[in-house]
Amino acid sequence: HSNSIEFSLNNKRYKFEADIPEELKNVLDKLKKST
């Protein structure tokens, strides 16, 4: 039981961390276009 909870938490964290570079790219693209 605790293992599946830990797995789901790690899975969410992994997805969250994987989304960060995408967000950073979008922000950098906007900054480049605005300058």
Q: Output the tens digit of pLDDT for each of the chain's 35 residues.
A: 567 888 888 777 777 666 678 888 899 999 999 87
Q: Residue 22 sits in which domain range?
A: 1-35
**pLDDT value of position 6:** 84
pTM here is 0.38
**pLDDT value of position 3:** 76
**In degrees to the nearest 10, what's the CA dihedral of 12, 16, 19, 25?**
-170
**pLDDT value of position 17:** 66
**pLDDT value of position 24:** 87
Structural domains of the chain, count: 1
Q: Which ranges of the chain would DSSP assign to H, the alpha helix?
A: 2-34
